Amino acid sequence: MSSKVAVLVAGSWGTALASVLAANHPNVMIWSRSAEQVQEINEKHLNSRYLPDAELPANLKATTDMEEAVSGACSVLIVAPSKAMREVSRSLKPYWQEDMLCIHATKGFETETLKRMSTVIAEELGCPEGDIVVLSGPSHAEEVIRLCPTTVVVASLNQQAASAAQDLFMNADFRVYTNRDMLGVELAGALKNIIALGAGMSDGLGYGDNAKAALLTRGLAEITRIGVEMGANPLTFAGLAGVGDLVVTATSRHSRNWRAGCMLGEGKKLDDVLNSMGMVVEGIRTTKAAHTISEKYGVQMPIAEQLYQVLFENKDPRIAVEALMGRDPKTEMESMKLATWEQWHS
């Protein structure tokens, strides 16, 4: 089998993961729509728009031609923004082969349909959703590209596919675990971006560490509550894709979601925040999706609800915090299905 790996697309996370793959495999090709970006990667070994000053491996090649990127590949990694996932997957379809390993590393929902990324990809490629592999976990592109020690998780219902993805990425700087709770890993990766927005907002308001610690803890409870209701394993939310990714995304200046939330807390308008970021802030779209999902499943997500009102109904962030603090008294150990996921799915 060919050792070629194709990566779609050349954003910061796609480029960082392509660099990990290029350290392990001789033939890695990344696809981008931008001819200027492709030329820079091929000639200067740089992607200055997304990862300034980071030198890319010499064996990482780039192309604007989807057929050239994918033809002959044994594995395809898709790292498109959630809003572009269906379009990119549709463009991949003519060159897709059934024996290719498909991995995605995008954390979000298709807002219009509330579908997870694996569902979108499967619909467009016509492949079993359970054969797709999800890569997630605490991992900033800016640190991965500098070979900082990083640990992630790959999840699939197809354990052979998950193991193949683990072998594809694993090296001395990039440790990979497997997990069979594909649903939980995707939900955790998407929903934690909402809480990271809230954490940034709390910092922008100057509320300090006590408030942020409470926000992260209760935010994790929200994520777990809706995840379990949707059929995920509760233990997944205590792992790399859950609390691990939540901590790194909600506490680091590398995090787009944290930075966007911080600017909102400082009083900036949403449109101005998005214009200044220059990159996709997945948590904003995910907040809108979570608002609908919580109503659909009848599960309370008070932090997500208040953020929704701040983002889309112009609610003052300080009033949103007052609403959270003024909720009726609760017990910390809320009602939750405690039967194990293995029992539900046996």
Which stretch of DSSP H or E encloses residue 77? strand 75-78
In the sheet with 174-179, reading across from the earlier edge strand, the strands are 60-63, 28-31, 5-8, 75-78, 101-104, 133-136, 150-155, 174-179
| Residue 192 annotated in active site | yes
Report the relative pairing of strands 75-78 and 5-8 from DSSP bridges: parallel
Q: Where are the alpha helices (DSSP H) in the chain?
A: 12-24, 35-44, 66-70, 85-92, 117-125, 141-144, 159-169, 182-204, 208-229, 245-251, 256-265, 270-277, 282-297, 302-312, 317-325, 341-344
Say which of 192, 212, 315, 337 is annotated catalytic: 192
Query: Which residue is associated with the tokens 């955790």?
Result: 188
Angstrom distance (rounded) from CA 115 to CA 132:
15
**Residues designated catalytic:** 192
